[in-house]
Amino acid sequence: MKMIYTNENNFLVNNVKNLIEAQNIKTFIKNEFAQGAVGEVSAFDSWPEVWVYDDADFDRADEIAKASQKTIKADDWICQHCSEENDPSFEVCWNCQEENG
């Protein structure tokens, strides 16, 4: 067994776990409920961790975890309906609710 990913944020840890398991790699989360022990143990030692059961899956799982953390650079887009500038994370215009495209 090898650790693939750790973070203080349970949401991010579970997201990485789900992405890896979607590729048929068995994982588990260690320290899932350990954050209540902060003070008794170091804060870093209580962070949840994603581990793979089979060491042979480590490289593939590590690639998936690293890819999930990359920031995708995208440009703002201009709505063709109302000419409003929108953040790349919006799929519809915040001003007129028209779809991007």
Q: Could you identify the residue written with the tokens 């059961």?
A: 53
Identify the pLDDT of residue 36: 60
d(Cα 57, Cα 63) in Å, to the nearest integer? Answer: 10
* HEC secondary structure over the chain: CEEEEECCCHHHHHHHHHHHHCCCCCEEEECCCHHHHECCECCHHHCCEEEECCHHHHHHHHHHHHHHCCCCCCCCEECCCCCCEECCCCCECCCCCCECC
Q: If pLDDT is split at 50, 70 and 90, which confidence band does 77 have?
A: very high
* Helix pair angle (58-68, 10-21), 10° resolution: 130
The dihedrals phi and psi of 54, each to the nearest 5 degrees, come to -100, 120
Q: pLDDT tens digit string along 21-71?
A: 999 999 999 987 766 655 565 556 778 999 999 999 999 999 999 998 886
> How large is the average pLDDT for residues 73-85?
90
pTM to 2 decimal places? 0.63
